[in-house]
């Protein structure tokens, strides 16, 4: 009889443990889902961590604070609406050193307060305890987030009734906090790396546009000069007797077209220079490439380079960031033009083509008739800081490869016979 009861109890305990583990893994899965759905914003991740923690331990309120030099900054507050409102207005966003949250971390262990009201029974109760009780907090549990034994943050859970957390709940919450710390820190480091990459890519775009500034200035001056000439022509037609309204109207129409053309050039320059978060859109790659070709048209003409295009028909749209993909094309086109500057015995030709590939995707090819690629330098061509240009930094092609790989594609280069170089990259379809 006793063995039967013991067996039932053991099975029940195992079932409870399995249920707890499933809930814990579900909580972590929800955090990971928030990470996948929030590529540029940490706030939904903070909220998901707290939502999962409060549900996991049947708490009424959760608070997440991250460590910084001056204390612990609150980044998320979730749970019972009334408690959230009271806590948000009663406790400062930044908990400075020596404050209640800061003192909870001194032992680097979970701090459990079964009954906050019991802390007020002394002669000189702490102001922090008084505030907590006035807010409506009765039971609390705080766990520090540790990375290599360094405190990177704290998560606090509270209940509005005196209902101490069980040992199992404390253990479950501690395990969840440890896993959440790993996920949180990995995500933060990855975001920092992405931000550094974006800053570097932006600097490369600005530098490349700087190289084209003389050509771009000429490109902008052309429609402005044409607009001025057409405006003067319109004035002349209006001064005639009898008044030639037809010719004047046609000349003014040309002024509008010239102004639009200058505006388009300036818009393209602005799009490439401004710093914006990466996007994922359906991009018509031919249109994106055509805009870059228009932007570099004057540079090609100044270097006597003829540009030919061969775009495939019925190309699928690719999934990615239009400006970043245009940055790759801008780098490849400018590199090709520069490589042909010293070519004297033959035509300077730049051939740009696109073709659909299987499985669903697009391949882009940029081929020049320059001196070609040195077989010795080819393996290092995409390494950071490797360059064959005396004035180059060696970051352009490295950034291009990073962009293409981030889009799920591949970028490579081959030499051509009898001369020239061929750069190709693939992009998956939308």
pTM above 0.75, yes or no: no
Do 87 and 217 fall within a single domain? no
Per-residue confidence (pLDDT) for residue 20, from 0 to 100: 56
Do 262 and 307 fall within a single domain? no
Rg of the chain on CA atoms, in Å: 32
| CA distances for 375 relative to 331, 372, 383, 415, angstroms | 21, 9, 15, 8
Contact 325, 427 (CB under 8 A): yes
- Rounded-to-integer distance, Cα 276 and Cα 279, Å: 9
Tens of pLDDT along 59-76?
999 998 888 888 888 988
Helix (H) or strand (E) holding 362: strand 361-368
With pLDDT > 70 as the criterion, what percentage of the chain qualifies? 72
Nearest to 362 by CA among 272, 422, 283: 283
Per-residue confidence (pLDDT) for residue 161, from 0 to 100: 92
Identify whether 203 is part of a domain.
no
Per-residue confidence (pLDDT) for residue 125, from 0 to 100: 67
Per-residue confidence (pLDDT) for residue 418, from 0 to 100: 79
Tens of pLDDT along 125-152?
677 888 888 888 999 999 988 888 888 8
Per-residue confidence (pLDDT) for residue 223, from 0 to 100: 67
Specify the length of the chain in residues.
Answer: 430
Do 311 and 361 fall within a single domain? yes
Identify whether 185 is part of a domain.
yes
- Rounded-to-integer distance, Cα 62 and Cα 51, Å: 8
Does the pLDDT of residue 351 top 90, yes or no?
Answer: yes
Do 253 and 289 fall within a single domain? no
Do 284 and 390 fall within a single domain? yes
End of a domain among 275, 298, 315? Answer: 275
Mean pLDDT of 403-412: 85
Hunting for tokens 């228009």 — which residue is that?
294
Do 56 and 178 fall within a single domain? yes
Dihedral Cα 14, 20, 25, 29, nearest 10 deg? 150
End of a domain among 224, 249, 275? Answer: 275
The CATH number of residue 7's host domain is 3.30.450.40
Does the pLDDT of residue 240 top 60, yes or no?
Answer: yes
The CATH number of residue 289's host domain is 3.30.565.10
- Rounded-to-integer distance, Cα 219 and Cα 258, Å: 12
- Confidence tier at 159 by pLDDT (50, 70, 90): very high
Contact 352, 307 (CB under 8 A): yes
End of a domain among 275, 292, 327? Answer: 275
- Residue 79 φ/ψ, nearest 5 degrees: 135, -145
- Rounded-to-integer distance, Cα 347 and Cα 334, Å: 17
Identify whether 34 is part of a domain.
yes
Q: How many CB atoms lie within 10 A of CB 245?
A: 11
Tens of pLDDT along 293-325?
887 887 788 888 888 999 988 888 888 888 788
- Rounded-to-integer distance, Cα 77 and Cα 75, Å: 7
Does the pLDDT of residue 33 top 90, yes or no?
Answer: no
- Confidence tier at 5 by pLDDT (50, 70, 90): very low
Identify whether 164 is part of a domain.
yes
Q: What total of structural domains would you count in the chain? A: 3
Do 241 and 327 fall within a single domain? no
Do 349 and 287 fall within a single domain? yes
Identify whether 204 is part of a domain.
no
Do 131 and 38 fall within a single domain? yes
Domain range for 328 is 278-430
Kindly give, in sequence order, each residue whose CB lies less than 8 Å from that of residue 44, ignoring residues fewer than 6 positions away. Answer: 34, 37, 38
Do 183 and 231 fall within a single domain? no
Do 26 and 162 fall within a single domain? yes
Per-residue confidence (pLDDT) for residue 421, from 0 to 100: 86
Identify whether 201 is part of a domain.
no
Do 406 and 300 fall within a single domain? yes
Output the six-digit token pair for 306.
């003829």
């Amino acid at each position: 009889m006793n063995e039967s009861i013991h067996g039932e109890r053991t099975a029940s305990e195992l079932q409870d443990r399995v249920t707890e583990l499933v809930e814990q893994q579900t909580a972590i899965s929800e955090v990971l889902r928030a990470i996948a759905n929030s590529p540029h914003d940490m706030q939904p991740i903070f909220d998901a961590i707290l939502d999962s923690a409060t549900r996991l331990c049947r708490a009424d309120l959760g608070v997440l604070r991250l460590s910084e030099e001056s204390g612990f900054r609150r980044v998320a507050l979730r749970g019972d609406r009334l408690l959230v409102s009271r806590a948000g207005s009663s406790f400062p966003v930044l908990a400075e050193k020596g404050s209640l949250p800061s003192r909870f971390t001194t032992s680097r262990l979970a701090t459990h307060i079964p009954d906050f009201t019991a802390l007020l029974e002394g002669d000189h109760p702490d102001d922090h305890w008084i505030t907590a009780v006035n807010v409506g907090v009765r039971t609390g549990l705080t766990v520090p987030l540790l990375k290599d034994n360094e405190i990177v943050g704290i998560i606090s859970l509270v209940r509005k009734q005196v209902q101490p957390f069980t040992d199992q709940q404390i253990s479950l919450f501690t395990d969840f906090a440890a896993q959440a710390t790993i996920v949180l820190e990995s995500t933060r480091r990855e975001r920092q790396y992405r931000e550094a990459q974006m800053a570097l890519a932006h600097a490369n775009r600005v530098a490349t546009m700087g190289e084209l500034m003389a050509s771009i200035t000429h490109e902008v001056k052309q429609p402005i000069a044409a607009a001025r000439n057409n405006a003067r022509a319109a004035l002349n037609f209006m001064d005639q007797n009898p008044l030639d309204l037809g010719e004047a109207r046609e000349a003014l129409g040309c002024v509008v077209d010239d102004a639009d053309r200058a505006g388009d050039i300036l818009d393209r320059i602005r799009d490439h220079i401004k710093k914006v978060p990466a996007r994922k859109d359906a991009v018509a790659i031919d249109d994106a490439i055509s805009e870059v070709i228009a932007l570099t048209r004057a540079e090609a003409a100044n270097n006597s380079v003829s540009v030919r295009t061969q775009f495939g028909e019925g190309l699928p749209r690719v999934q990615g960031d239009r400006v970043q993909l245009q940055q790759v094309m801008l780098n490849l086109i400018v590199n090709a033009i520069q490589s042909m500057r010293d070519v004297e015995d033959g035509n300077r030709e730049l051939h740009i083509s696109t073709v659909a590939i299987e499985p669903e995707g697009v391949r882009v090819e940029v081929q020049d008739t320059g001196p070609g690629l040195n077989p010795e330098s080819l393996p290092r061509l995409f390494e950071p800081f490797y360059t064959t240009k005396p004035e180059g930094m060696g970051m352009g092609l490295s950034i291009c490869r990073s962009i293409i790989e981030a889009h799920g594609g591949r970028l490579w280069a081959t030499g051509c016979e009898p001369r020239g170089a061929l750069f190709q990259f693939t992009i998956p379809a939308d």
